[in-house]
Structure 1
């Protein structure tokens, strides 16, 4: 999520000008998929989409609304569990529990009662900040990042919570920690710090959770919006929700190029996740905040959940795995 980008360097602006034509030509070729409304709701800041393939439900959150949502596409029912503070992301855990990121740290939430208990206390790490996006890696570690309330540059971090509930800082001095995914061979991690307008790649060790060899994978012109939440498909291509961009864009992280763009009838697109029995439906979250009066009129469905069949399948989401000896 991002309300404003306060510091955009001249180099980024220059890149956007030089690259705009090239990206536009590639994008036009991808305009062949139609987005439809999955569930109409006026979420303030819809985020954190993740598909629970075991229950066939979409988990998602409304950060500013302080709500954890469980949407069942078959019944069309969206169950809302209220939270004590802003909830920024969620990952599946057990049949009756999920791990949720709140303002003071990570909690376990009972999906039947809505009650939550603090699992990882992060208050000392989150002074003036809150948690933001996150996901579990293939080994079941929970990676979750932060962002400063005033979005001050370099005051956020990316953390992991191991199966033994050990908190470790993995990347520091970021601004808005956002999308994160891993390749099918478990050797590469992709990560977004929204303010940089980039997707970075890291060599990833699944056994240890260590990352190394940071590289630039994708540089995104600001003409396309700002990169927010992200998912990965079975071809290891990246799907990125574009804040202030009205779209989800599929990037090739090897070449750094746009493959296709799927336009969405909402201004601020925040996250996406592949779901459905065949993982062939892309669910998309959006926000209704940070819009002008003109944008509000133009996008009355902002805040809703959208869906599209993009012609490629996703992969199963990773669940948090807890070492039972720590209980």
Structure 2
């Protein structure tokens, strides 16, 4: 990657001083006009209202990898001991399924596809190579293992025609594209479309915009980078005054604001003095709009 002078650069501003340990999983609710997000190690689900500045919090008492909106109400959360429904008024949890057998593996990032299936990946607590997988949960709650031999299963999005899925295994420093069949949920023909230099950080969470371009959070990079996956061209860089940049999602009533989660895990006292807003939620208007989040259509 070459962040040359010709690339448009913008700076994200702090909108919520949340002090999250590992902020993750941002997703905008289009009718509630709020941002759902999680703190993996803080073990919380958060609902942030940018209009009022209020941030509602539910303690889920265990590590949480991601959250997706559920069509029939509430949300699905991927917790250390399984996938649960969470009531977003009460915080009440209802167990659905637990495909992970090992005690030292946890869920990580995940999203719903346009057919309402829930895709969620895993990682080992010690981040060992090859221990992670990517699951797909169908609307009838059947679970399929779609990829294995991963290390940190992370960002996942789909192109607007639903014929391509983009996916990040963080340790590879790559974004891969797969042919995607919406009807069956099958993926095939993987190829590398973006490569991130280690000196710029590691690819983490990811969003897609109305032009089918990718927005990739760079962990330890203090940035979100915008790529055209068809050409591999870097289009824009958003700087974030928090090095542990983790994930991003388009939100706001017009989906023209990019919300960015960050963390404090692993930062020294010196780092925290230098980047006091670490762990906060940041926002920027990047000049493009996102696409509405897919609702999960799993029947409880």
TM normalised by structure 2 equals: 0.97
Kindly state the Cα deviation for residue 254 of structure 1 after the two structures are TM-superposed.
1.1
Provide the C-alpha distance between the structure 2 equivalents of 1:318 and 1:177, rounded to a whole number of angstroms.
19
**Match of residue 29 from structure 1:** 7
Does 1:249 pair with 2:225? yes
Cα pair 1:96 1:112 within 8 Å, conserved:
no
Provide the C-alpha distance between the structure 2 equivalents of 1:128 and 1:43, rounded to a whole number of angstroms.
22
| Structure number with higher strand proportion | 2
**Match of residue 263 from structure 2:** 287
**Match of residue 226 from structure 1:** 202
Cα pair 2:72 2:297 within 8 Å, conserved:
no
Structure 1 residue runs of 5 or longer lacking an equivalent are 1-18
Runs of 4+ deviating beyond 3 Å: none
Once the two structures are overlaid, the 10-residue window that deviates more, 163-172 or 69-78, is 69-78
Kindly state the Cα deviation for residue 122 of structure 1 after the two structures are TM-superposed.
2.3
CA RMSD of aligned residues (A): 1.2
Cα pair 1:249 1:262 within 8 Å, conserved:
yes
User: Helix, strand or coil for the counterpart of 1:49?
Assistant: strand
Does 1:64 pair with 2:49? no
Provide the C-alpha distance between the structure 2 equivalents of 1:25 and 1:84, rounded to a whole number of angstroms.
44
Provide the C-alpha distance between the structure 2 equivalents of 1:97 and 1:120, rounded to a whole number of angstroms.
17
Kindly state the Cα deviation for residue 251 of structure 1 after the two structures are TM-superposed.
1.0
TM normalised by structure 1 equals: 0.89
Q: How many residues align?
A: 300
Cα pair 1:104 1:122 within 8 Å, conserved:
no
User: Helix, strand or coil for the counterpart of 1:24?
Assistant: coil
Provide the C-alpha distance between the structure 2 equivalents of 1:182 and 1:94, rounded to a whole number of angstroms.
19
Question: Equivalent of 1:312, from 285, 288, 291?
Answer: 288
Provide the C-alpha distance between the structure 1 equivalents of 2:62 and 2:99, rounded to a whole number of angstroms.
14
Kindly state the Cα deviation for residue 292 of structure 1 after the two structures are TM-superposed.
2.8
Provide the C-alpha distance between the structure 2 equivalents of 1:36 and 1:165, rounded to a whole number of angstroms.
39
Structure 2 residue runs of 5 or longer lacking an equivalent are none
Cα pair 2:7 2:234 within 8 Å, conserved:
no
